[in-house]
């Protein structure tokens, strides 16, 4: 029940395309859902986050869509660029508990 399931494991997108990464959770007590971006040789860094009181949050080309009833949330990267090539992790936490991360999606954007 503490798990966050992430898919796909890897994703190849052409430049200018839309990248979509999905996550699902079981624990309805989760109340914070961030996405982290990790470049090779670096630690993960916060990209965007959402709380369950909204269904969508957009920051530039990055959008989180949140479906509370389905217990799913997804990251959409519009107009994907080669510089977006990285590993993306979804995560969830409840109250002041630790972050539980998904298994990661390796995104490759080809020019």
Partner 1 sequence: DSGVTQTPKHLITATGQRVTLRCSPRSGDLSVYWYQQSLDQGLQFLIQYYNGEERAKGNILERFSAQQFPDLHSELNLSSLELGDSALYFCASSVEPGGNTGELFFGEGSRLTVL
Choosing from 12, 15, 28, 46, the residue that interacts with partner 1 (CB under 8 A) is: 46
Look up residue 8 and give its two tokens.
């796909």
Print the binding letters for residues 53-92 with partner 1: x by CB under 8 A, - otherwise. ------------------------------------x-x-
Interaction of residue 18 with partner 1, rule CB under 8 A: no
Choosing from 12, 45, 54, 78, the residue that interacts with partner 1 (CB under 8 A) is: 45
Choosing from 7, 27, 32, 57, the residue that interacts with partner 1 (CB under 8 A) is: 32
For residue 77, the SS3 value is strand
Contact 90, 33 (CB under 8 A): yes
Interaction of residue 40 with partner 1, rule CB under 8 A: no
Contact 50, 73 (CB under 8 A): yes
Interaction of residue 95 with partner 1, rule CB under 8 A: yes
Given the structure tokens 């369950």, which residue do they identify?
Answer: 52
Contact 56, 64 (CB under 8 A): yes
CA 58 centroid distance within chain:
12
- List residues near partner 1 by CB under 8 A: 6, 31-32, 34, 36, 41-46, 89, 91, 93-104
């Amino acid at each position: 029940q503490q798990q966050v399931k992430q898919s796909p494991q890897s994703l190849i997108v052409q430049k200018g395309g839309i990248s979509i990464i999905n996550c699902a959770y079981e624990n309805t007590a989760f109340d914070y859902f961030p996405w982290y971006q990790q470049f090779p040789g670096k630690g993960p860094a916060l990209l965007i986050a959402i709380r369950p009181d909204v269904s969508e949050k957009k920051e530039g080309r990055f959008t989180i869509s949140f479906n509370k009833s389905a217990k799913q949330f997804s990251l959409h990267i519009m107009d994907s660029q080669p510089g977006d090539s990285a590993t993306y992790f979804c995560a969830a936490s409840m109250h002041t508990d630790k972050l539980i991360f998904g298994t990661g999606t390796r995104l490759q954007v080809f020019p």
